[in-house]
Structure 1
Amino acid sequence: MSSLLLEKLVTEVRRYQNKDFLHAAMAVCAITAYSDGEISIEERYSIDYAIDNIEALKTFDPVRAIEILDDYIYLLKSGTEGAKAELYKKIKVFEGKYKRSRTLLRVAHLIICADREVDPREQKEFAMLCNLLGLEASKLWRQIENQKAL
């Protein structure tokens, strides 16, 4: 088997394994960025940064990730009944999977802090996401803040 074919196969398997994570991450991005009723340019840049730098998302075409994100944002902005609940389901898949949950919440933190102003609605959404994933919000927030300070 050629190394090129093997490499392509490994990439495809990673995509398959990480497909749910891609959808959960884009749901976290959409919910967190829109939690204060608007999406700032800083938040959008933070989302792009996350897509380009999170190992589990690197196997995906960034254009596809942005398409999913835009669909989720549209869903939230349209006010469709049950839109947020639908996105929460995509995130809840990772309840009990500590490392994946923590990564999703780090993405949320990155977006919340992007414009250097933490809105109470964003903080409330972070707590909701933590609860959804079975993690303690205040403890995780402190851990992330402490890691940022290093």
Structure 2
Amino acid sequence: MALWDRLKESATTMQGQLVAKKNDLKSGAFRDASMAMCALVAAADGSIDPSERQRVASLIATNDVLQNFPADDLQARFNDYCQKLTVDFAFGKVSILQTIGKVQKKPTEARAVIQIGIVIGGADGDFDKSEQAVVREACFALGLNAAEFDL
């Protein structure tokens, strides 16, 4: 099976797992960690180009699990995290990883945040090395084994 096919299959499987847990994923900490993860994946290479930002924003708006929250609230939080990364990537990344780490004590939410990062990263068909690296860092911030997610 080609790498692209495996990636697509994995992202589809993870999205299905997220939808199955949708009712458990309603906390403010999960909302914030998810938007932080989306911004981190969008900026994985150190910058966020407008087309990538728009693509991720569209994915957020159409993600079944994230529909537990108002779309305009998610958009505002995503934009705020993107702004932090744009102003100072290194400092913004530390702040964002701290936000992601706030769901560490809730394993369902922690795994869901990682799965959202993988789904967002693989949505364009190329879950590249920089995207994989930031999702691995998020695993570390959450105390999760990256190998559990094939990272």
TM-score (norm 1): 0.72
Cα distance in structure 2, aligned partners of 1:96 and 1:63? 27
SS of 1:38 mapped into structure 2: coil
Cα distance in structure 2, aligned partners of 1:141 and 1:42? 24
Residues 65-116 of structure 1 show CA distances to partners (whole Å, capped at 9, x for unaligned) of 1011101101111116622211111111111321111110110001110111
**Percentage identity across paired residues of the two chains:** 24
8 Å contact 2:41–2:117 — kept in the other structure? yes
Alignment correspondent of 2:133: 124
Which structure carries more relative contact order (alpha carbon 8 Å, separation 6+)? Answer: 2
8 Å contact 1:35–1:121 — kept in the other structure? yes
How far the C-alpha of 1:139 sits from its partner, in A, is 2.1
For the structure 1 residues 81 and 104, does the alpha-carbon distance in structure 2 shift closer, same or farther, using more than 3 Å as the test? closer
Cα distance in structure 2, aligned partners of 1:139 and 1:62? 30
Letter in 2 for 1:71: D
Question: Structure 2: 5+ residue runs without aligned partners?
Answer: 1-22
Residue 60 of structure 2 is aligned to residue 47 of structure 1? yes
Aligned length: 123
Cα distance in structure 2, aligned partners of 1:81 and 1:38? 14
Cα distance in structure 2, aligned partners of 1:112 and 1:81? 20
TM-score (norm 2): 0.72
Which segments of structure 1 move beyond 4 Å, counting only runs of 4 or more?
none
Alignment correspondent of 1:74: 83
How far the C-alpha of 1:59 sits from its partner, in A, is 4.0
8 Å contact 1:46–1:110 — kept in the other structure? no
Residue 110 of structure 2 is aligned to residue 101 of structure 1? yes
For the structure 1 residues 124 and 139, does the alpha-carbon distance in structure 2 shift closer, same or farther, using more than 3 Å as the test? same
Cα distance in structure 1, aligned partners of 2:55 and 2:70? 22
8 Å contact 1:76–1:84 — kept in the other structure? yes
How far the C-alpha of 1:44 sits from its partner, in A, is 3.2
Question: Structure 1: 5+ residue runs without aligned partners?
Answer: 1-13, 143-150
Larger radius of gyration: 1
Equivalent residue in structure 2 for 1:88, among 97, 120, 127: 97
Letter in 2 for 1:99: T
